[in-house]
A = this chain, B = another copy of it.
Amino acid sequence: MSGRVEIVPVQGLPEVAAGDRLGELIAGALAGAGEEVSTADVLAVAQKAVSKAEGRVRDLDDVAPGARAQRLAKNLGKDPRLVELILSESRSVVRAERDVLIVETLSGWICANAGIDASNVPGTRRVTLLPEDSDASARRIRAEIGSVTGVRPAVLVADSFGRPWRLGQTDVAIGCAGLAPLDDWRGRSDRQGRGLAATAVAIADEVAAAADLARSKDAGLPVCLVRGLGRFVVVDDGPGAGAIQRPDQRDLFR
């Protein structure tokens, strides 16, 4: 199956604050914008809005860096308070070289700085941490949208990650609910009846990347509505984006 895909940035979402029910805010913004949501839609939500709603914001002035953080920070040329926060959000350090600190986060994502980001947070020393469990965040947002609208679109939480070998960042999924994160082609055939080389398509990551194209980093539009992917939307919340994490024993780059 193939077909048109449309990505619509959702206008009118207020600035998000700790304790906000983000799904209700999204449902309100959709209604205000006259966008009807369906069970075949996917709502892609920027991680930063989710983190703010969940109070995952820290002030660097409140952080006391330990000896390890101080040592690492000196080697990397980073703020030791930021490094302390990164380490406290990490299971392990994957690379600490030059000015780069790549870790495995407590939720299992491998990324720079444990996904901690200082941009788009009001106040000079405020940083956002990743949600503690972005799959749970996606499930909660989906349920909230469902209780307001009576309709349960899929929800994904997206963040911008860098990549080995390639410059620039792309948005990837760190959480999802109601979306098949991987489209598995193993065992299926192509038009000549031959087995396909692709094992699986990382649908959730491709949706996150697509949504990022429809909004600008400075536009304050953390939510996009993605239409035309109903074949990947499922009634149950599904395994979440955690299913995209490559198991250590199948990974050659950590």
A residues in contact (CB < 8 Å) with B: 1-9, 95, 97-98, 100, 102, 109-110, 117-122, 124, 160, 163-172, 181-183, 185, 188-192, 194-203, 205-207, 209-210, 212-221, 228-229, 243-246, 250-254
Besides A168-B183, A168-B205, 10 other CB < 8 A contacts? A2-B215, A5-B213, A110-B164, A121-B194, A160-B201, A163-B163, A165-B254, A167-B250, A168-B203, A188-B218
Bound CA–CA A206/B185 (angstroms): 22
**Copy count, this protein chain:** 2
* Given known A-B contacts A8-B4, A209-B170, A214 and B190 have beta carbons under 8 A apart: no
* Given known A-B contacts A97-B252, A102-B252, A210-B213, A197 and B165 have beta carbons under 8 A apart: no
In the complex, how many angstroms separate the beta carbon of A201 from the nearest chain B beta carbon? 6
Assess whether B217 is in contact with A212, with CB atoms less than 8 Å apart: no
Assess whether A5 is in contact with B2, with CB atoms less than 8 Å apart: no
Assess whether B198 is in contact with A217, with CB atoms less than 8 Å apart: yes
Report B-chain residues with C-beta under 8 Å of the C-beta of A164.
110, 164, 246, 251-254
Assess whether A169 is in contact with B200, with CB atoms less than 8 Å apart: yes
Assess whether A166 is in contact with B160, with CB atoms less than 8 Å apart: no
Contact of A3 among B5, B214, B252 (CB under 8 A): B214
